[in-house]
Every structure is written in C-alpha cells, then in structure tokens.
Amino acid sequence: MIELKTPVEIQHMHVAGRFVAEVLSEVGRLADVGVNLLDLEHHVRDMIKRRGAESCYWDYAPSFGKGPFRNVICLSVNDAVLHGLPHDYTLRDGDVLTADLAVSIDGWVADSARTVAVGTADEEDLRIIRATEEALEAAIEVARPGNRLGDISAAIEAVAHDHGYPVNAEFGGHGIGRTMHERPHVSNNGRAGRGLTLQPGLTLALEPWFARTTDQVVYDADGWTIRSADGSRTAHSEHTIAITEDAPLVLTRREPEAHNER
C-alpha cells in the first residue's frame, strides 16, 4: 500500500529533512585527511541526541544485511558505495567519502546521501560525483503529477549513460514517510512512461549511485558494506522529495557550502 501524505505531514517530514541536511553539511565540513570514521560516527550521534531525533539505522536488520546495524550513519569510502559500516579507518588524501543518513523526528523520516572528495581531489572522482548529482536533479525535475515512476528511473539512467557509467538496478530509491523504506521501489534504470502514476502527496527518496566501470557489487565480511565488484571508485547522491501540485519539493536540500561542494 502506498500512503499519500497531506501537506501538513509533508511539512513534518521537511523538519526532519532540514536536520538531515544540516548533519550531512557538517559531515562534509569535517571530512578531511586524518579524520577517523568512528569520530564522524560519534559526532553524528551527538548531533542526533541533542536534536531529540532518532536514527533509522540503529538496530536496522533487513534481509540483505548482517544485522542489526549498530551505527547511526553509513560511511563508505572509495569503492564502497552503500551501507558502509563505520570502522577504524583514517581518511587519506584523495579518498572519496559517501555519507548516508536517515532520521526520524516526531514520527516522520527523511533520508539523504552525499559523496565528497577528501583532500586533493582526483578529476575522475569529481566527475562521477557530479554525475550522480546531475542524475538526482534530473530525477527530481520529472517528479511531477501525471508523470510515471519510470520517468524518474529513465532520467537517472540517461545521465549515467551520458557520462559512460553502468547502472546497477539491485539497489535504488524508495518511498519514505512514517518509516525509512516504504513502497514503491524506485529503480535507477527504467523506461519512461511506465509504472506508477505520480500523484501529489507521494514522498520518495531518490538515490542514484554509480561505479566507474561496473554494475556489479560485492559485500564486505561485515555483511553490510557494499562495494563495486571491480574495485572502481563510486559516488552516491540522495534526496527525500515530495510531489506537490506544483514543483517537486526537496525536503533535504542543503544550503550552498564553500567546502566540499564541487
């Protein structure tokens, strides 16, 4: 069952979304050479506690993970792209870091992710980061009443192909609202004009992610961290949006930043 949200409910989600955006901006600011992933994890824990929010990741135990997840943020480095388990790793010059965060405030959830370059950025890393950001904006642009879910998927896939990146369809976006994962699933590839008709009140987490040279993934021994199968670098961009009568509303939009916004 797909639950459409009222304007008031969307505003509640927007409260959570603004906080998620604030945290991810802070993580991007702190992500620098010599910073340990566990320090970032504990900093985010403190921010969540001070805000009175709840992590959607803590104790999360889906079928694909080796649960329960006992962290509040996913931190994935270089060829890792999804569900990265924070661990004792110190960021190095030239790394790329993906941070993915979902929290609940007063019973309403928002979810967002970003990839940033650490220290001296490689141009190919910046290119794949920009590609995921472009794909996300293209997906948001077509998230309008009367369009189809396939239009979103096709928009993401088109940007990936324009940049020469393959697309994995195993993990993608999803509905969101009272819980982190709701129906429908939003694939990162698909055919325009197909699938669910988009309606005002539909809230979605859209999340294009690409690896440079493969659409296959492997899991770390931790049972969570997902990497590109060939070790190529990755990037991931995600926003929670609401479809309205007018333009799509991005609930997790970050303020422009001077640091790490390339």
Length in residues, the chain: 262
Known binding residues for substrate are: 83, 181
Half-sphere exposure of 7 toward its Cβ, with a 13 Å CA cutoff?
A: 3
The Cα 3–Cα 23 span in angstroms is 27
Of 7, 23, 18, the residue nearest 253 (C-alpha): 18
Numbered residues of the known binding site for a divalent metal cation: 100, 111, 174, 207, 238
Contacts of residues 51-58 at CB distance under 8 Å and 24 or more positions apart, as own/partner, are 51/19, 51/105, 52/105, 53/16, 53/19, 53/103, 53/104, 53/105, 54/103, 54/104, 54/105, 55/102, 55/103, 56/102, 56/103, 56/104, 56/109, 56/111, 56/179, 56/180, 57/101, 57/102
Token look-up 């870091």 returns: 97
Binding residue positions:
83, 100, 111, 174, 181, 207, 238
What would the two tokens of residue 168 be? 């994995």
Enter the tokens of residue 94: 């030239």
Q: With beta carbons less than 8 A apart as the criterion, state whether 242 and 251 touch.
A: yes
Helix (H, G, I), strand (E, B) or coil at 86: coil
Distance between CA 2 and CA 51 in Å, rounded?
29
